[in-house]
Chains A and B, each alone.
Chain A
Amino acid sequence: MTAQPSDSTEFPPEITLKPLALIGLSGLDTINNAIHKTIWDAFSNNRRLDRASVQFKLLHNTFEFPVIKPKRNSYEWYIPKGILKKNWIPKRVSLIPAVVVIFYDMEWNDPQWNEKIIECASRVQSIRAAVEGHATRVAVVVVQSGLSPPPSEYMLGAERAQVLCSACEIQSKSLFVLPHSDHLMGYIVRLENAFYDIAQNYYHHETKNIKQHRDHLNKTTHQYLFVRHQFKLGFLNELKQDLSTAHKHYMHAYNNLLETRQVDTNIHEIRTVAGYINYKLCKLLFALNLARDAIAQLKSHIERYKNRIGPTELLFEHYAWIARQYSAFGELFDEAIGLGLPAIQSQHPGFYYQHAAQFTVKRRQAMRSVCCEALQYPPPPDPMEGIVEFYGQRPWRPGRLSADPHDPQKEQAAVLALQYNERVFNHSGMIISFLSSAITQFKTFHSPRMRKQLVVEMANEYYYCADYGKALTLLTHMLWDYRREKWWFLASHVLNRALQCAYLSAKIQDYIQLSIEALSRHIQVPNNDKDRIFRNVMSVLNLNIPAPEPDLPASSQSRALELWQMAIEKEPMTVIIDMMNISSFLEVKTKFTQVKYRMDDTIEVELFVRLTYNTTLQAKAVTLTIATNTETIEIPIVDNETSIVKLEGDKVKRFSCQFKSNPHDIGSNLSIKNVSFILDNERRRKVIMNFKIEENKSIEPTIHPELLHFILSPKSDYEYDCIVPMNTTSITSRECRLSIEIENAVPALQGEWFPTTFKVINNEDSLVYDMTIALSLLSSPDNPNPETVTELSFKHGEPQPQPLKFQVGNVDKASTYSNTFFLKTNRTATATVQLRVTYNIDFQETPKLQCVKDFTTKITVIKPFEVSTKFVELSFMPITKCFVDDPFIVMPEIKILSPWDLLILDTELETVDCFGYGDHKKPTSCISNLQVAEKNIASDAISVQAKYKPKDPPTRVGLYNIMWRRKSNTCGHCVMSTTALSGIAIEECPISIEVNYPEVVELMTSVPLKCRLTGRTDVPIRLSLTVEGTDTYIFSGYKKFSVTVPPKDKFELCYNILPLVTGNTIPPRLKATVLGDNTRQEVITEIFEKNFPRNIFVMPKYK
């Protein structure tokens, strides 16, 4: 809750406090008795919200209860003198306890029991006597040590409690025992609740008393009493914490008050009391969580009373009263939000504080119109002195109900006194305070712009009470936001006021800055007199006092002049203005002419300046600040060979400045940081206008630049708007004048050391020195890690670490340097080789300038040849599988891909384990020293046989090595290329067959056909053999018989065959059927099929 400024309308504390049942505690000696002090502290300290709504008061022996008024039996002749007595509530809340509790130390087994009981009873009696006439309840608390009594004395306690009750004449439920033990707090809370019950009972009794009076009242004379009684009922119910009943009675009181006749003499009393009752109503509605009803109550309340303005000479009182109604409601609302009431943007306490401020403004207006005569407080006797018994009554005519003033002179003096007091009242202070409360609320409830408006109003109040410094601070802050959102009308309003403040407080920095902004085309100034403002800026620059702003308060003008006289020749002599944060009469755009520059280029910056105010502005100097990564340089702008820059109004002027970059800046960025305009008339004062350019300050273009292209804008200088600033550029190294010639015989062949000769030619105009060359491989998408598969070297056959670096030294002008490097790669892809040439060169302006030039050359690498494999049996018939110990031929075919002629020096096959050479020793190559050309195919043949059948079918037969070199390369090393030859399936056969037969025979000549069957397994194999005869042969031997092939041994068969016809013939063939385990049948059939000749050539018989 914000503390609101006080005036006569402020609510007395008894109205605003929450009523709590009053409980008097007697017999506690908190000063001398430590136990009593703990008990009192437990009752009164740190009361949390969940504890009973009671208030404790320590009653000393000297405490006196208010004297009871004699009961009135008849109201017939009673005319009330006012509505609500001022002392009624304070009595209830601090003087008349609902309950008096007497504390008394006594153990049940106290040896002096009898004496104690008498003393206790007498204390009770004396309290009874003191409250005589009041219905205050009495209770007794026996304070005992927390020790539990021995079991034999259980009964004693009950008995003695009984005795004590009767001795004190109290009911047993009004007697309490408080054991002073560790659990004191628990007992205290229980006692407290018990007291609270008794108190409620008391207040209930009190309400009944009041209600009894009602029958005696009549509406004609006792209208005030209706209000009073209902108010009392409301209040007692509040004490009882029965909020809805309390609300009902207050509502009756409010309505009864509306019915009373209102005249000028009682208007003040009526509205004061109405305000209090309304306050109570709203507070209760908020407490009952009926916020809408509370708002409705306030609205109808204001509606009902807003036209009851009372005597016009005291009109300000009416507005003061309304303002207070609003502000008090705002506080209640705020308090309710603090307790958890939700509020929204359109309904929150801020609005009520704002109304309070607005009505305080009206109050001041009323004061100005009615109090102009009240220049002096009336002479004594002071009409304001006097005791007022009722709320809202006038001290000079207390308790008078008559409508006409009984003493016109006194009345007049009193009005004068009130008017005078109002005249000297600090309205601005009050308005500022209300506004500040409202500002906080609007900020909380998402209304930044409303908040800003209120801040500006607040600043205006500061201005009215001549606190120009505070006003200026607030206004300059607000100006920022209006400028940002381009509400120029509002910005102008704020700026003009701020300029007045800056003038009145002679603050040179603010004055110059605001004046410069006032010259902006967006800002409207009073009387449209920008020339005056421009002249003022020039005056301050020339150490002259500027002309005052229009409409200044006359009272402050001479003071302002004094301030200026003191300030004008003092600091700040240099006024620095951050132009990027304000709107002004100068606009600046800067632009590098290129996105990037080479080191030896001349860098050019274009500066466009637009002066939007129609004048001639002369800047003593304009500088451009450029930052590199090492330094910040300032470059003066030169205009017509002088540093003095003249700008003309409503024109865009273009300046250009050129400079050379520093060799250190190669590879880094340059950025324009600032443009400064220095106004200086050689009178010691300078105005520096800085346009600071921030890179990451994203200027949100509200106008899309694309749209500017076709606008037939009436603006003549829209081209300026189209200029896109470019405030950064990068510096790259100078263009090196070296060239390279590459000589090599591409494509390179996979695996060879491929030579490349390069020649670096110096085209520079002078000698270059300290030249080094570094060779490296560049990765490319199809060759991501070239250094892992490719070797580079300056020596044939010897890899060297990459990158390859070497010193060249000097190369004279127009001369060359050449060298050869070798590249060997196992990948058929394009290898990109980078040659980085680094050297130094001397120039006049930059000696020993380091230059770097990168050259790249691409080398395509292809395979020299492709190897494929065929498998054939010894008869050169293709096979797809082989049998263990059954020789066959591997035929690698080398297809030449190289465009260059090659020489195959030698070949060899390194077989894998499961294969061996056919005749058990390494054969010599059949294609050694063979010269081949592109598209040739060289076929090799190696006899091989399987040694055993491995678990998995072999993936390859072996590695096939080819030793080769380019034919042209006579001296060089040869290259060995290795290819894996694909595998062939291996079968196992329980027997092997060797058939001996001649390939060519003569007709009618008997030849032997020998067949040796060898058992390969550990078991004998029985076969049934059949000879399949043909018509072309006759043969001798068994046609069908059974044989047993012994394990690991041989069985031989021999037939004589005799051909009958010439030409290609099919000889008789043996067929075998396995006897017994016929799982082997298939493989046996196959091996017989394979080994027996299908074809024998029969020649005619030589005669």
Chain B
Amino acid sequence: MAVCVAVIGKDNSPLYIGGIGNDTSTDNELSRQWLVHTALDALEERLSTTNTSNTNSSANTARTDLRDLYLGLLYSTDTHKIYGYVTNTRIKLVLVTSSTSPSGSNIRDAEVRTALRRLHALYADAICNPFHLPGDQITSQKFDKQVKSLMLNNV
């Protein structure tokens, strides 16, 4: 389903970026990082509109949507779709699907939501790891494995 999944810290530093695909070259990693990094622009824009619309009392239904941790599709490029999720602790989760693969292009919004919620649960477990310092990069192999399987699950 997903080709890349990222966990980004409160300070916008990358805590984990996982990608699947056989190509593990630097170029591939680089384009993945660019993609996730620039997704932060859209996330920040989305969050800032969330805040400003709070003051605006109209459109009640829209407001409850904005209080959803799952932010939905942030934007799409010719090749990828980028989805976002921001936790209450301001950890940002990003999921990237490929528009060129059949499994990625036909994905339903609900599936992405479920996957990101699952990722949030994995993250919540990961920071309880006594060897992990919250704010540092996540180096747990168990986490990596679980995220990779999460990404493959729906392929």
Contact = CB atoms under 8 A, between A and B. Distances in A.
Answer yes or no: A and B touching, Cβ < 8 Å. yes
Interface of A: 345-346, 446-450, 453, 485-487, 489-490, 493, 700, 702-704, 707-708, 710-714
B112 to A, nearest CB: 17
B131 A450 contact: no
Nearest to A354: B77
Given A453-B34, A489-B33, A703-B133, 12 more contacts: A345-B45, A447-B38, A447-B45, A450-B41, A486-B11, A486-B14, A490-B33, A490-B37, A493-B30, A702-B13, A707-B134, A713-B133
A700 B41 contact: no
A346 B14 contact: no
B13 A485 contact: yes
A493 B9 CA distance: 21
Interface string B1-30: 000000001111110010000000000011
Contact of B45 (A446, A486, A711, A712): A446
A707 B132 CA distance: 10
For chain B, which range describes its interface: under 10, 10 to 19, 20 to 34, or 35 or more residues?
20 to 34
Interface string B105-140: 000000000000000000000000011111110000
Given A486-B13, A489-B33, A711 B131 contact: yes
B44 to A, nearest CB: 8
8 contacts: A447-B42, A449-B38, A449-B40, A453-B37, A485-B13, A702-B10, A703-B136, A704-B135
The 3 residue pairs across chains A and B that have the minimum distance between CB atoms: A486-B13, A703-B135, A447-B41
B130 A710 contact: yes
Contacts of A714: 131
A345 B133 contact: no
B41 A446 contact: yes
Contacts of A490: 30, 33-34, 37
Nearest to B48: A446
Contacts of B131: 711-714
B10 A345 contact: no
Contacts of A712: 130-131
Nearest to A493: B30
Contacts of A449: 37-38, 40-41
Contacts of B33: 487, 489-490
Contacts of B34: 453, 490
Interface string B136-155: 10000000000000000000
Contacts of A485: 11-13
B28 to A, nearest CB: 12
Contacts of A447: 38, 41-42, 45
A486 B11 CA distance: 9
Among B11, B12, B41, B44, the most chain A Cβ lie within 10 Å of the Cβ of B41
Contact of B130 (A446, A700, A708, A711): A711
Nearest to A351: B77
B37 A345 contact: no
B41 A448 contact: yes
B130 to A, nearest CB: 6
Contacts of A486: 11, 13-14
B14 to A, nearest CB: 6
Nearest to B131: A712
Contact of A489 (B10, B11, B29, B44): B29
Contacts of B10: 702
Interface in B34-71: 34, 37-38, 40-42, 44-45
Among A489, A708, A710, A712, the most chain B Cβ lie within 10 Å of the Cβ of A489
Contact of A345 (B14, B41, B134): B41
Contacts of B74: 346
A446 B43 CA distance: 11
Contacts of A453: 34, 37-38
A80 to B, nearest CB: 37
Contacts of B45: 345, 446-447
Contacts of B38: 447, 449-450, 453
Nearest to A448: B41
Contacts of A345: 41-42, 45
Nearest to A721: B133
Contacts of B40: 449
Given A345-B45, A489-B30, A702 B11 contact: yes
A940 B14 CA distance: 92
Contacts of A708: 133
